[in-house]
Structure 1
Amino acid sequence: MEHLPGHPGSNDPRESPGRLGPATDASPPVAAHGSRARQREETRERIFETALREFREVGLSAARIERIAKKAGVARGTFYFHFPTKEDVMLELARRINARIVRRMARIVAEEPGLRAFLLRLNEVLIDEHARIGEAGLHAELISLYIRRPYDLSDPLHNVPTLNDELGRFLNGIIQRGELKLRLPVDQLSVVILSSLFGVLARMRLGEEMRTTCNSLVELLVLGLEAEA
């Protein structure tokens, strides 16, 4: 018996019951959708990089969205589609930096170092990332942003694992291993440690003095925590 295309007994691989038309007809829209998504991502990245260059050249406050859009080869409305404000470009930079530090911290946590070793290595990671921001000429702008507009963790774009989360995971680990006893809640201690280190990074110039000061701060924190235990 000869089967018609689409009939349950058909051997025609192009069609099957319930499919509206040949399978090949459905493929182009999927490919087109993927192409549009890639194009949007490429446009967003081009705007992002162009805006950062503009911020480096003239500063965040003096940067003009019209100029950024023109240099990126997009309409002004396209800029707003991807970034509602100039500060949102910097928030995206902060999100990427945060994600990079968290990944580096996670690798250190996995090695289960002691408290002093972990904090000294965390210090090196923060100084390294701080140096990268400084080389890009965006350190002052980013610090200013942190002061004016901290992360809104209710925003899905920024609801990513934070440094505080990763530090808390480490502290809980050494507590469970019996290496540390605390009266202070872990989440509060994480905030104290990171605020202390970032305070030094925000106020001092890059160099050996900064590293020495941060290392001294780590020693002070460790002594205080060991005394509490």
Structure 2
Amino acid sequence: MGAAIAEFKRTGMAAADTAAIVSAAGVAHGTFFFHFPTKEHVLIELENREQIHMAAELAKYFSRPHGVRDTLAESVRVLEKLERRLGRLLFKDFLALHFSTTRPPSEEWGNYPVVATVVEELQRARERGEIPAAVDVVHNGVSFLVGLYALLITTPESPELREAVIDEYLTTYMFGLRAIPTN
């Protein structure tokens, strides 16, 4: 796993050389493919580990007083921290995994600790009256994160531009968390 992650950081998942991975790990090709049927499975394992870590970090933050925008902004901060740890190439592959047509079938959103933690926090905000009762916080929480993942994959690396785009995204989502009558 460590050798694969190092290679992914260096080249990205698509260009990663399994021969270099198994050589660095000191194992046979068959051993690698026994543990990870595809290179994408390495990312799924990494995602499982990182989801638990990020959800714990979010839960710690959410245990202190904060507002709804802070909830969304902290989600961004935790993902940006992950990007610094993984490097830009691996981070993009990590997020792109959510949009992959070849990814093994996924389960319910609740099986993703980060999504579950954000949705639970939005539910608490709704219970406190910070979000109107008519707002579907599950849909909004999931779509916020999926949209954020897509935004972080496609936004240019310019820190100023990225900050402006993310700030606008947060502002837009704050409007989406208001109840707008449909009748």
Question: Is TM > 0.5 for Structure 1 vs Structure 2?
Answer: yes
Percent of aligned positions with the same letter in both sequences? 28
TM-score of the two chains, using structure 2 as the length reference = 0.81
| Secondary structure of 2:54 counterpart | helix
- Find 2:123's aligned residue among 172, 181, 191: 172
Measure how far apart 1:127 and its partner are: 2.1
Deviations 1:89-131 (A, max 9, x none): 1111222222222111111221242112222222222222233
| 1:198 counterpart residue number | 149
**Conservation of the 8 A alpha-carbon contact between 1:167 and 1:190:** yes
Does 2:172 align with 1:220? yes
- Structure 2 gaps, min length 5: none
| 1:142 counterpart residue number | 94
Structure-to-structure mapping, 1:26-65, within 5 angstroms: 48-65=1-18
**Conservation of the 8 A alpha-carbon contact between 2:155 and 2:162:** yes
**Conservation of the 8 A alpha-carbon contact between 1:182 and 1:228:** no
| 2:78 counterpart residue number | 125
| 2:52 counterpart residue number | 99
Distance in 1 (CA, whole Å) between partners of 2:48 and 2:63 is 22
Distance in 1 (CA, whole Å) between partners of 2:57 and 2:40 is 26
Which structure would you say has the larger RCO, counting Cα contacts within 8 Å and 6 or more residues apart? 2
What is the alpha-carbon root mean square deviation over aligned residues? 2.6
Give the counterpart letter for 1:219 in structure 2: T
Measure how far apart 1:83 and its partner are: 1.6
Distance in 1 (CA, whole Å) between partners of 2:6 and 2:72 is 33
Between the two proteins, the alignment pairs up a number of residues equal to 177
TM-score of the two chains, using structure 1 as the length reference = 0.66
Pick closer, same or farther for the CA change 1:143–1:49 going to 2, 3 Å.
same
Deviations 1:41-87 (A, max 9, x none): xxxxxxx1111222334443343434422321122232223222211
Measure how far apart 1:150 and its partner are: 6.7
Measure how far apart 1:174 and its partner are: 1.3
- Structure 1 gaps, min length 5: 1-47
Distance in 2 (CA, whole Å) between partners of 1:216 and 1:59 is 29
Does 2:156 align with 1:208? no
Pick closer, same or farther for the CA change 1:227–1:186 going to 2, 3 Å.
closer
Distance in 2 (CA, whole Å) between partners of 1:52 and 1:223 is 38
